[in-house]
Each structure stands twice: as structure tokens, then as C-alpha cells.
Amino acid sequence: MPLNGIDAVVYGVSNMGKCRKHFSDWGLKKISGGGNKSVYQTRDGSQIILCPRAAKDLPKAIQRGSTVREIVWGATSKADLKRVEKELSKDRDVTVDKDGTMHSVDDFGLGIAFRLTRRRKLKDTRRPMNSASCAERVNTPALYHTSVQPTHIGHCVFAVPDIKKLEKFYTERLGFSVSDYYTGRGIFMRAAKRGGHHNLFFLEAETGKPSINHVAFGVEDLHELFGAGLHFQGQKHKVAVGPGRHHVSSAYFWYFDCPAGGATEYFCDEDFVTEDWAPGQWHPAPETFAEWFMADGIQRENLLPPTRESRDTKIKRKKNVRAGVKA
């Protein structure tokens, strides 16, 4: 059943105003808003949908307060949607909207939906980088990002009471692949055989009750990650942890608290894996979480880039100073 990633994440929230500000400052493009629904979009068209948590058309919440209520998965064809509907209808309710979007629940009660993907293929916007052995960027300073629109929604992470049950559900019934394990503690899975390291990460719930941990948004590269994080921190949003770099998935990261539930993460440079990838067993420990990280963001008084003067302007200023002319 070729599902190819996350098309949308639907939140039910207590404070629409705070959540709108969060995702607007996060860099997402507002598609619609006001009233009982606000929709924000990444560069590839994947969406964040905000609704009041008391909205009657939302799936049942997995926890109290603001949280993710549904993940919408993209399918590549109508035939794939039919196969998903047939499989899930064996033991649970499945409803289909007029636009063809299908709704159900997974095995820990999270709302899951499926539709023909609306995400767009991103243009290649890689920027040249210099190394000791290869100069790709010549006579051109690197770009400085003061804000960034994320590229896509990469993954969602939940604490759940039964990891093995969910592994069986997503792999055997929806065709997901396992990317890696936290031995006895968690599982990383991806919807497509070929793609980013994971779309779902389930952690063992220490309380025995399910909850949202975070939703992760890709950015193009490390320059964008720092630009996005510095901008968001400068808007007085609270850092959860980061920046840093994970061992599992290899991704650079920066997490911030989110009023819609859990946290939101900027990430880049994650592992791209294929059918030939062999899942690993990672020992769950603090040192496994990250190769390195900063606990509380980057402390800078001035988050704006310095003004870059041209060479001629600098020379003229030096001459004026030497001659006693006021610059």
C-alpha cells in the first residue's frame, strides 16, 4: 500500500490565538483562517490544521488538553486508497468524505486519514558549500536567513502504551517499514520504502497513557535551520532543546515548546533510506539522543544580520577617518 508521507496534521487546541501565532512565526504560509479552522502550509503543500478542541467533527483525543487529533497520510493512487479502506474495514469503522478523504483510527486511538497526496515535488534549491577539497561557492558570501518557510512535515512522535502492537498495525496493515529501534523502548517507521528516515516514532509511555511528543518540520539545510531557529527564538518562543544533532537519523535539530501540544522541531540532513536499509538497535540513553546539543538555544542580543558594506565603501570610510572627515 504505497503511502508516501504526511499530507497534514490536525490539532485540536484550547487557545486558537496562541497556536496561530506559533505556526505563523514558525514560517508556515497561512492558507485560510478565522472562525473554527486555520490552515497553514509548508513549501511542498503539506498542512497544519488548527481547530478548537471542542469541535464536534474532530476525532477523539488521545489525551487531555491541546494535542494532535489526526494525521493525514498521502497515497499515490485511488487504488491504494481502496486497498487501505478494504484492510481497515475488517475490524474498525471507516468513513469517506465527499472529496475522497478516508478517516479511521489506529490501534492506540489516534485519528488517521488517507487521501490522494496534495504535496508537490520540491525544486532543487541546494546551495553551494565550500570544503577543504572543493570550492563550490566562489566570490559569493553565504546567505543569511532571518526567517524560513519549512519544506515539509517530516514526522510525528508519540508516547504510547504498546509499541509492539503499533509496529504490527503499521507494518502489516499499512505497509510501513521499520527504520531503527530504541531497544525495548521505541521504534522508528517510515511510510515509503524510499525516503526520509522516519515518519513515525513511537516511544514507550512511562505513564502508560498516550501523548504527543512533537511534530517535525524539514528545512533545506543547516543555514536554514539556524536562521529559522534564531528567528523563532527571537519572537520569544521557548526553546525545548537545541540546536544539536541526532545519532539516530543523523538529522540536525532544534525543538521549541508548542501551545498546540508537545513541541515542534526544525530538522535537516536526515538519513535517506531505501529497501536495502537494515534497521539498527540503539540503546536508549541520553548519549544516544544526540551527538551534541545545546540545552537552551543560542543566546544573542541582536538576532539581525550585520550590514555588509561593499569593499569600496570600507576603503572610502578609512580614507575619511584618516583625513579627519566625519563618516
Do 208 and 139 touch, CB atoms closer than 8 A?
A: no
Q: What is the pLDDT of residue 323?
A: 46
Q: For residue 139, what are the contacts with CB-CB under 8 A and spacing of at least 6?
A: none
Could you read off the pLDDT of 224-246 as tens digits, one per residue? Answer: 999 999 999 999 999 999 999 99
Interstrand relation of 195-196 and 263-268 (parallel, antiparallel or unpaired):
unpaired
How are strands ordered across the β-sheet holding 239-245? 280-282, 177-182, 186-190, 200-204, 152-160, 211-218, 263-268, 252-257, 239-245, 292-293
Q: What is the pLDDT of residue 127?
A: 87
Segment among 16-20, 28-32, 120-124 with least mean pLDDT:
120-124
Could you read off the pLDDT of 149-170 as tens digits, one per residue? Answer: 999 999 999 999 999 999 999 9
**Sign of torsion, CA 305 307 311 315?**
negative
Average pLDDT over residues 23-49: 95
When pLDDT is cut at 50, 70 and 90, the band that residue 316 belongs to is: very low
Bridge partners (DSSP) listed for residue 1? none
Q: What is the pLDDT of residue 307?
A: 60
Amino acid of residue 157:
V
Could you read off the pLDDT of 194-218 as tens digits, one per residue? Answer: 999 999 999 999 899 999 999 999 9
Amino acid of residue 160:
V
**Could you tell me the residue ranges of all domains in the chain?**
3-121+145-293
**Sign of torsion, CA 48 53 56 59?**
positive
Q: What is the pLDDT of residue 143?
A: 84
Identify the residue with better confidence: 244 or 2.
244
Identify the residue with better confidence: 164 or 312.
164
Identify the residue with better confidence: 127 or 160.
160
Rounded to the nearest 10 degrees, how much is the dihedral formed by the CA atoms of 15, 18, 24, 29? 10
Q: What is the pLDDT of residue 124?
A: 87
Quote the CA–CA distance of 51 and 69 in Å, as a whole number.
10
Q: What is the pLDDT of residue 321?
A: 42
Could you read off the pLDDT of 84-108 as tens digits, one per residue? Answer: 999 999 999 999 999 999 999 999 9
Q: What is the pLDDT of residue 219?
A: 97
Percentage of residues in the chain with pLDDT exceeding 70? Answer: 91
Q: What is the pLDDT of residue 306?
A: 58
Interstrand relation of 211-218 and 263-268 (parallel, antiparallel or unpaired):
parallel
When pLDDT is cut at 50, 70 and 90, the band that residue 318 belongs to is: very low
When pLDDT is cut at 50, 70 and 90, the band that residue 322 belongs to is: very low
Q: Residue 289 — left, alpha, or beta (φ > 0 → left; ψ -120 to 50 → alpha)?
A: alpha
Answer whether residue 18 shows pLDDT above 70: yes
Amino acid of residue 10:
V
**SS3 assignment, position 142:** coil
When pLDDT is cut at 50, 70 and 90, the band that residue 309 belongs to is: low
When pLDDT is cut at 50, 70 and 90, the band that residue 305 belongs to is: low
DSSP string computed for 173-215: IT--EEEEEETTTEEEEESSSSEES-SEEEEE-TTSS-EEEEE
Q: For residue 323, what are the contacts with CB-CB under 8 A and spacing of at least 6?
A: none
Answer whether residue 326 shows pLDDT above 50: no
Written out in words, the top-level CATH class of the domain with range 3-121+145-293 is alpha beta
Q: How far is CA 169 from the centre of its chain?
A: 23
Average pLDDT over residues 27-39: 91
Average pLDDT over residues 40-44: 98
pTM: 0.91
Answer whether residue 320 shows pLDDT above 50: no
Quote the CA–CA distance of 303 and 234 in Å, as a whole number.
7
Average pLDDT over residues 63-81: 97
How are strands ordered across the β-sheet holding 38-41? 29-32, 38-41, 47-52, 3-13, 67-75, 111-116, 102-105, 95-96
Quote the CA–CA distance of 85 and 326 in Å, as a whole number.
76
Do 53 and 10 touch, CB atoms closer than 8 A?
A: no
Average pLDDT over residues 52-65: 96
Quote the CA–CA distance of 176 and 193 in Å, as a whole number.
8
Mean of the per-residue pLDDT values of the chain: 91
Average pLDDT over residues 139-143: 90
Amino acid of residue 108:
F
Q: Residue 8 — left, alpha, or beta (φ > 0 → left; ψ -120 to 50 → alpha)?
A: beta
